Structure 1
Amino acid sequence: MTTTQFQIRKNQLDSTRVVTLPDAPLADGEVRVRVEQFAYTANNITYAAFGESMNYWQFFPVSDDEKSVWGIVPVWGFGVVEASRCIGVAVGERLYGYWPMASHAVLQPVRVSPESFLDGASHRAALHTIYNQYLRCAADPLHDPATEALQALLRPLFLTAWLIDDFLADNHFFGTCEGGQRGVMPLSSASSKTAFATAAQLARRPEVEVVGLTSAANVAFCESLGVYRRVLTYDQLDTLAQDTPCVYVDFAGNGELRKNIHTRFERLAYSCSIGGTHVDQLSGARDLPGPRPVLFFAPAQAKKRHGDWGATGFNERMARAWHGFIEQVSQPAAPWVKVQEHHGPGAVQAAHILVLGGRADPRLGHVLSLQDI
């Protein structure tokens, strides 16, 4: 038995390699999972771009002599238990969670419950629970076998988006809606799935105006979604008044655009940094006018709301919002996402380059597998 891994050079994200390794025998308490399908989006490019600073490379480290150069990007998707030496986790069980870009993964289930378990591997002990949890599909209220591809693509992005919306509302949109005024929320990289999922949540709040910022090629797509009050190209910022009370929600990470936003808007109340879809234009946040950009960390808001609402309350609220979002996305007349599947190492490589370059059709959702058909 062997495992195939798709590895990326940490400081040169367009450099990749496929490595095949022999499988070691399972230890007591371990399971081997066949990774059947996983989503690949701009969110995963963000994981790679912020791999060092946000510890994303730590989840699935490569061998010790290579880990300073090569890394494995984590992905969300589905797997099936292929072998088990863990009491309570059976061969054939289907799981949803955070996987390596690989054909197989070895987990050490702990805190096993009917609904889920955590990976207890020592190198993941200090990493956030939200990434270490594996949901058992048979008991998962959000799981639907008919829409697994959409779940792989949108569920993790939606959770981030839902928490961004909740974070902004929890902080009263940083004062931009006071006195009856409407706060403006410009979202960069508006065609990205995390951005339009965030817009779909914010659009339900009458006190804010959601403005999508995107390239000229993606204006029509963003407008077709119906979740942006206005869609502007990046060179149309001057159509928004300088005294607009606003919160910038940055999915692009484009340094020049961030500087333009901070320079133009005199009443920029908060600058929320989410991702790095413009990976070739990332830059720091020093010497900017206005508020210092703050990196949004979804698990922190999730932890706060678990404390406020309890686990049951959190899950119930999230499930209601998720089902409403999937209904929007899946409308038969104009679906927001069309799934495109890729099988085998060569297809995975091609999809990586496509998504990395930002050239993918925004309506396409790429679902990958290192298993050949």
Structure 2
Amino acid sequence: MTTRFVVQRNDLRTTHWEESPAPSLDDGEVRLRVDAFALTSNNITYAALGDMMNYWQFYPTGDPDTGHVPVWGFGSVVESRCPGIEVDERFYGYWPIADDVVLQATAVHPGGFADGAEHRRGLHAVYNQYVRCSADPGYRADAEAQQALLRPLFATSFLIDDFLADNDFFGAQTVILSSASSKTAYGTAFRLAQRGGSVTVIGLTSPANAEFTRSLGCYDDVVLYDDVASLPQVASVYVDMSGDTAVRTAVHRRLGDLLAYSCAVGATHWDALGGGGDLPGPPPQLFFAPEQARKRAAEWGPDGLQARIAAAWTAFMARIDDAEHPWMTVVKRQGREAVEQCYAALLDGAIPAKEGHILSV
């Protein structure tokens, strides 16, 4: 039997577990056990923006009212009918919350393969790649948790920073990030801070996360959501990780035409999403990381892009795992109840910012 976690697409709090007979394999298919995966606010963004950004399409349920929330993590091959992929090999990639999954392996090469299932062919290729751990220069068996939790988020952080710098920060001198305690936000702040003060970085956060956000040391200032009216009135870029309509409106009203660019990235405040109406300043623009990745891969070559991300990742990991002041504590749990509890806590915003949760069904 195959067990999967199913979410009601129009009511993210309504979930259930679904069991179905494990399908037999056709030629070219592989069955992988989903060993461990990260569950973070990033996955809540996938669910909240599932229809807009096609995240529900990666693992369709067959029911247009329900979906599988995709997650990043590791899987091991338990059965293969694909030459070049052997039983017990381990892969990093994009999975459903489940105990196993069958993938249509195509474009097999020493570094991994792509899922060539018909329903995924029109989706962005970056999500369809499965990386063979034995051939991944960035893989460390003792750092699987950090990779699952942070690698996809940090890639987005790298590309946001690169996009802003590529556009000369739209002439701004300050970058404001909402949901500043989130991993994608502080990864972006870390990258911006590496630029040696070329811009001022301000984090917006809740009172509950203010101490943690300040402790990171990568923000020049931390401002509470209720204090948006105190933001300095200088040329600024707003990077919206929260998706919170009220916060976005407050930032636009405070800065008006001083807002050089408004960038929508995430939806950590998934229950506060909505249209902003007529906002002062520039209309928010959706940031889709794979587009910037495609641009840079064309300019630098795919290997050049990956080399730059890898170097940045190494520096970031040194800070994450700092012996005296680590930025993240890994929490590992197993079983259906653990998944349900973590998912519900993420919806409620109740996971401490310092924690990173690794789960398995």
The two structures share one fold, judged by TM-score above 0.5? yes
1:217 aligns with 2:216: no
8 A contact 2:203–2:222 mirrored in 1: yes
CA shift, 1:10, in A, is 0.3
Residue 134 (structure 1) aligns with: 130
Q: Tell me the equivalent position of 2:56.
A: 57
SS in 1 for 2:223: strand
1:77 match: secondary structure: strand
| 2:219 corresponds to | 228
Match of 1:90 among 58, 81, 86: 86
Of the candidates 61, 68, 71, which is equivalent to residue 67 of structure 2? 71
1:305-335 deviation digits (Å, cap 9, x = unpaired): 0000001111111110001100010001111
Match in the other structure for 1:34: 33
Q: Which amino acid aligns with 1:26?
A: L
Residues 308-347 of structure 1 aligned to structure 2 (within 5 Å)? 308-347=299-338
What SS class does the counterpart of residue 286 from structure 1 fall into? coil
How many positions carry a matched residue from both structures?
A: 359
For 2:184 and 2:209, the matched residues in 1 are separated by 15
Q: Which residue number corresponds to residue 282 of structure 2?
A: 291
Give the TM-score normalised by structure 2.
0.98
> Corresponding residue for 1:180?
none
Determine which of 293, 296, 301 is the counterpart of 2:292: 301
Is 2:194 aligned against 1:204? yes
Find the aligned partners of 2:219 and 2:211 in 1 and give their Cα distance.
12
Task: Output the CA distance in 1 between the equivalents of 2:306 and 2:276.
Answer: 35
| Alignment deviations for residues 20-44 of structure 1 (CA, whole Å, 9 cap, x no partner) | 1101110000000000000011100
**Corresponding position of 1:104:** 100
Cα distance per residue 1:254-278 (max 9 Å; x no partner): 0011001111103001000001101
- The residue type equivalent to 1:58 in the other structure is Q
| Separation in structure 2 between the aligned mates of residue 22 and residue 339 of structure 1, nearest angstrom | 33
Q: Does 1:3 align with 2:2?
A: yes
Please tell me the residue identity of whatever aligns with 2:114. L
Whole-Å Cα distance in 1 between the matches of residues 303 and 295 of structure 2? 14
Moved over 6 A (4+): none
Q: Residues 78 and 152 of structure 1 are in contact (CA less than 8 Å); yes or no, is this contact kept in structure 2?
A: yes
**Conserved in 1, the CA contact under 8 Å of 2:231 and 2:254?**
no
In structure 2, list runs of 5 or more residues that go unmatched.
none
CA distance in 1, matches of 2:24, 2:12: 32
Aligned to 1:22: 21
Contact 1:30 1:107 in 2 (8 A): yes
How far the C-alpha of 1:285 sits from its partner, in A, is 3.3
Quote how far apart the aligned CAs of 1:284 are.
Answer: 1.4
Q: Identity rate of aligned residues, in percent?
A: 52
2:49 maps to amino acid: F
Alignment partner of 1:250 is 2:240:
yes
Partners of 2:65 and 2:303 in 1: how far apart? 42
- Following superposition, the deviation at residue 281 of structure 1 comes to 0.7
Paired residue secondary structure (1:19): strand
